[in-house]
A and B are shown apart, each in its own frame.
Chain A
Amino acid sequence: MSHSSMWDSISGIIRRDLLLAMRRWSDAAMSVFFLVIVVSLFPLGVGPEPAVLRTIAPGVLWVAALLTCLLSLSRVFTPDYLDGVLEQMVLVPQPLSLLVLGKVLAHWMISGLPVVLLSPLLGLQFGLEGEALGVLVLSLLLGTPTLSMIGAIGAALVLGVRGSGLLVALLVLPLYVPVLIFGAGAVTSSMAGIGGEANLSLLGACLVLSLFLAPWATAAALRIALE
């Protein structure tokens, strides 16, 4: 298959999913509100000391990003599963993993990108400044696509299964641990003056690894679910 037709099938899926998401824009808005509320609860629980807030900020923001991604995972495949579109995707000549990649990228644009764009604001709430704020945005920019990639595997595995909401959390959260460590670690080390480059490049490595493996595993899981 040529490059242009590969890209066509991916971008076709992305355009379609974005269009569908725009029609149901309240879903995307809800996950953004969820993020803001979760992050705002921490200062109220921990106390307003700026030094404490700055210390916990990378972890809090990153955990909140994980949870936001997790909550939106059921939207990746379930609508298409329910109306039968997914079954046709398995049958079309294009490789299923490519279509999966398109769907995951669309999911990231709907649920991951808003987190990245909102993060400087949330970082300011916690007293992050300058370089640390930049590293936070960069780490989320590199990390949230990985979260969507890994999350798609879990979403495909629990498709149509009873109690899938909790189950997908149980499956996916352990797989998110490395991303959390590198992502929050990048911000922490930049605040400590070591610079976040090493952690950021590890996040990049995670992204590349998941970009190669996750669509393939997700496609396998989808085929199993649709058999």
Chain B
Amino acid sequence: MIWSKYSAPQAFYPLAGRLIPWFAAVAVLLMVVGLYMGFFVAPTDFQQGESYRIIFVHVPAAWMSMFLYVVMAIWAGVGMGLNARLSFMMAQAIAPTGAMFTFLALLTGAMWGKPTWGAWWVWDARLTSELILLFQYAGVMLLRTSIDDLRRADRSSAVFALVGVVNVPIIYYSVQWWNTLHQGASVSMATGSKMAATMLMAMLIMTIAFWMYSIAVILARVRCVIVERESLPAWDEKPAVIHEAVEAR
């Protein structure tokens, strides 16, 4: 099977290196198209004016933050189930990018909320669960860095990542429930107006662009992790280094 061949870090390292430029190129291309559509094709929203254009980064960042957490947890689960080093490395490589998108989703959400609702922050179900998601990403990463033994660090952060997958939906629904109780504080995120097709298209293109960006960055990071963690040489560098060593002698 071709997949089992690439489950070894040594085999995956060059494959990831070959894939990165393609994903990066697609990401840049789609970002250019998405930004052009978002700023020059999509019309002004008749309710929110131009401020709605923040959704072209906000919604993709929010989607990626949740999607990446689930993917991270899946890799963590696969790592626990199959005892595969590369799976844990993937989980490790995903966490910082996921945390970054969570932070961006919160920041751009505040930037959108201020002109739209008149408040930087409201205790809405989506915002609250996004905030907790950021804490969980932080927990996964800090637990990993606090444990010196790599095998334990992998497995402990995997257990926490998996527990967190159960937590986030519960928080989402509990805050929604809680908001119906405190009626004054509840704010509906629904814009009411139907989105124009070009708006939706620009948002989807930006989402795919962020997705491709994430893959490129995560593959680059997993390569760093492989070099740092395996005591073997960086495989693609080997001939050059040996040549250098010979020259030095």
Contacts and interface: CB of A to CB of B under 8 A. Distances in A.
Do A and B touch (CB < 8 Å)?
Answer: yes
Nearest to A180: B174
Question: Which of A220, A224, A225 has the most B CB atoms < 10 Å from its CB?
Answer: A224
Size category, A interface: 20 to 34
Size category, B interface: 20 to 34
Nearest to A162: B146
Interface in A169-220: 170-171, 173-175, 177-178, 181-182, 185, 188-189, 192, 194, 202, 206, 213, 217, 220
Contact of B155 (A173, A175, A224): A224
A83 interface: no
A69 interface: no
Contacts of B164: 174-175
B167 A157 contact: no
A178 B174 contact: yes
Contacts of B167: 174-175, 177-178
A174 B163 CA distance: 11
Contacts of B170: 178, 206
Contacts of B147: 161
B59 interface: no
B160 A157 contact: yes
B119 interface: no
Nearest to A189: B181
B163 A175 contact: yes
Contacts of B159: 153, 157, 217, 220-221, 224
Contacts of B181: 185, 188-189, 192, 194
Contacts of B171: 177-178
Interface stretch (B20-28, B90-98, B133-141, B206-214): B133-141
Interface in B157-181: 159-160, 162-164, 166-167, 170-171, 174-175, 177-178, 181
Given A157-B159, A157-B160, A177-B171, A227 B132 contact: no
A104 interface: no
Contacts, number: 74
A167 interface: yes
Contacts of A157: 143, 156, 159-160
Contact of B135 (A174, A189, A220): A174
B98 to A, nearest CB: 15
A93 to B, nearest CB: 24
A26 to B, nearest CB: 29
Contacts of B136: 174
18 contacts: A153-B159, A153-B163, A157-B159, A167-B146, A170-B139, A171-B143, A174-B135, A174-B136, A175-B163, A175-B167, A178-B170, A178-B171, A181-B177, A181-B178, A194-B181, A224-B152, A224-B156, A225-B152
Interface of B: 128, 132, 135-136, 138-139, 142-143, 146-147, 151-152, 155-156, 159-160, 162-164, 166-167, 170-171, 174-175, 177-178, 181
